[in-house]
Chains A and B, each alone.
Chain A
Amino acid sequence: MADNAKLPPLPTGTFSARAVAWSKKNLFDGWFNTLLTLGSIAFLVWLIPPLVNWAIVNATLEPTIEGCAEVTGACWGFVNANLRLILFGTYPFEEQWRPLLAMIVLMGIICFSLGGVKYPSFRKAIIPMWVIGVPIIAILMWGGMLGLTYVQNSYWGGLPLTLILSAIGIIFAFPLGLLLALGRQSTMPAIKTISVVYIEVIRGVPLITVLFMASVMFPLFLPDGVTIDKLLRAQIGIILFTAAYLAEVFRGGLQAVPRGQFEAGDSLGLSYWQSMRLIILPQALRLVIPPTVNSFISMLKDTTLVVIIGLFDFLGTVKLALRSDPAWTKYYVEGYAFASAIFFLICFSMAKYSAYLEKELRKGEQR
């Protein structure tokens, strides 16, 4: 073939010769790229050594204020000294094994459920796992039976609270969002109107407002003597809020499924719900995995807003620890860096799982 003549020759020679060839081609290809490369190197040289010095070389894990005063780097001792307060908030100190165990159970069920994609045999067990798992978590957290002392949920806090609010939020917001998306496409005017109004109103206000309303306004409308738990109200607020966003994500997916798929389902005699469940939703949801996970991630981070109604989520407990002793207060950078790292870990795992899920579902069915 004549075209072969135009191909660059394969790199030959020693490793260093090839490295020079590679960087000439990729890093110093013209004056603009050369400038970018040099600029980037300068930036990294400026950034990395001081960062490493601060975070590792000059840092200390010594969990005392005195230990921290001696070093010029990061005071991880703050996190070390307050770890249990940061992780579990004001949950009674002696009982903190319970939220720890509850968290492990929750993560276990979540991992098991997510594994259902790879191992179809898991799938049948997913719902029973949740049905059994959620009461176990509730018993561990609340207690009051099986010899566990009762712990009011106003003492709950930290990472377990964040994870519970997020997990329960996702589990309930997902089906509610689906129903709203289907409702918005309904041919029945009443259902359509309710869905549209709900979605637009909830989307139109900030989550803080929803939480504030749930916490302050809502009890005013309840008859005397009836109270709904503050945590529950926050949880419901989060579910209602997230569902409105998910509804629009799902609607996008439903619109992307070709009309012919609906017609094929109809012409085979499937009912509306059968068509939806077996034909339309599997395709629609697959299309919207990225924006759905996007919503989940932003919801997980939004749970930090419950602090405004007096609940201490994971970020709230970091603040609590900073305030626990005035001497710690100046180590807020370390505190927030730690919180960011944990949030990043959770959110990044979700993002990676979503990428994996997309790849896994696409296997074998190239269009």
Chain B
Amino acid sequence: MTATEAQTTNGVVPPPSNEEVITVSKANKWYGNFHVLKDIDLHVRKGERIVICGPSGSGKSTLIRTLNRLETYQSGEITVDGILLGDDVKNIEAVRREVCMVFQHFNLFPHMTVLENLTLAPIWVRKMPKKEAIDLAMHYLQRVRIAEQAHKFPGQLSGGQQQRVAIARSLCMQPKIMLFDEPTSALDPEMVKEVLDVMVELAKEGMTMLCVTHEMGFAKEVADRVVFMDAGEIVEMAGPQEFFANPKSERTKLFLSQILSH
């Protein structure tokens, strides 16, 4: 087991350490003339859980997608796990080995079984022997409570099951950081909980997580900080209690009133 898993203490969220693993400073990005990220500054410590929310088009997905270089940025500096993310392909691959992403639409590989989905990256990227990779995959499938589906194809699973497989697939890379890009937005309502439960467990094990989501219950339960973005800027950033009880800016208040009103 990894060191982070060892500190699991039931129900108590371990505090983040002081080591900084993600540094975003003055990052800017444009799509043509459209300024999607404006002078973003964000410092994430190891073990920290950050929830990013904001209206659609606010740049929140774009922000976390720049952290594993699915999106480029034009100015500023982003350092992940001590590696500067720029055009250097070696650096990009090094970061991607340590940072995994869970997508809104799962993006499982439809032509492979669940087990093959999970063992692919450990075998090809980590160069792990096949047998070891299968053991690892089964371990994480048990963790997300879906081991009995190992030999099915993704298309035969429900949305919630597919997203749990996607989380297990990321965990198989034993990443230092996990990014979640609206992981529950494409799910039927009755399946949201099974996915959030898995994410809460992960949070409690001390995984460094950045999560774009509108699940405010999740934010209240596990987040160390909540980041509110609008129109490409970080408008407000605070601990969850402060954020929900005492939002400072008008935009945050408006957003919270809209999503919490029903």
Contacts and interface: CB of A to CB of B under 8 A. Distances in A.
Contacts of A260: 103, 105, 107
B93 interface: yes
A367 B110 contact: yes
Interface string A250-265: 0000000010110110
Interface string B154-165: 111000000000
A282 interface: yes
A138 B70 CA distance: 50
B109 interface: yes
B3 to A, nearest CB: 21
A267 B100 CA distance: 6
A18 interface: no
B111 interface: yes
A266 interface: yes
Given A260-B103, A366-B155, A366-B156, A270 B124 contact: yes
Interface in B93-110: 93, 96-97, 99-101, 103, 105, 107-110
B46 interface: no
A326 interface: no
A267 B70 contact: yes
A41 B124 CA distance: 63
B70 A263 contact: yes
A284 B124 CA distance: 20
Of the four ranges (under 10, 10 to 19, 20 to 34, 35 or more), the interface on chain B belongs to: 20 to 34
Nearest to B126: A269
Contact of B96 (A261, A269, A286): A269
A209 interface: no
Contact of B97 (A258, A269, A279): A269
B121 A263 contact: no
A261 B107 contact: yes
A269 B121 contact: yes
A271 B155 CA distance: 25
Nearest to B108: A264
Interface in B73-125: 93, 96-97, 99-101, 103, 105, 107-111, 120-121, 124-125
Interface in B171-195: 173
A268 B120 contact: yes
Nearest to A260: B107
B68 interface: yes
A267 B96 contact: yes
B169 A268 contact: yes
B241 to A, nearest CB: 32
A286 B110 CA distance: 12
Interface residues of A, number: 21
A152 interface: no
Nearest to A272: B89
A282 B117 CA distance: 14
Contact of B110 (A268, A270, A283): A283
A80 interface: no
A36 B190 CA distance: 55
A258 B69 CA distance: 18
Contacts of A13: none
Contacts of B93: 269, 271
B153 interface: yes
A279 B109 contact: yes
Interface in A270-318: 270-271, 274, 278-279, 282-283, 286
B21 to A, nearest CB: 17
Contacts of A269: 93, 96-97, 121, 125, 173
A357 to B, nearest CB: 14
Contacts of B173: 268-269
Most buried by A among B68, B93, B108, B110: B110
Contacts of A264: 103, 107-109
A364 interface: yes
Contacts of B170: 268
Contact of A278 (B68, B70, B124): B124
Contacts of B111: 282-283, 286, 365
Contact of A263 (B99, B107, B125, B156): B107
Most buried by B among A261, A264, A366: A264
Contacts of B68: 266-267
Nearest to A277: B124
Interface in A345-367: 364-367
Interface in B116-161: 120-121, 124-125, 153-156
A263 B64 CA distance: 13
Contacts of B100: 267-268
A132 B260 CA distance: 70
Interface of A: 258, 260-261, 263-264, 266-271, 274, 278-279, 282-283, 286, 364-367
Interface of B: 68-70, 93, 96-97, 99-101, 103, 105, 107-111, 120-121, 124-125, 153-156, 169-170, 173
18 contacts: A260-B105, A264-B103, A267-B99, A267-B100, A267-B101, A267-B103, A268-B96, A268-B100, A268-B125, A268-B169, A268-B173, A270-B124, A274-B124, A274-B125, A278-B120, A278-B124, A283-B110, A286-B111
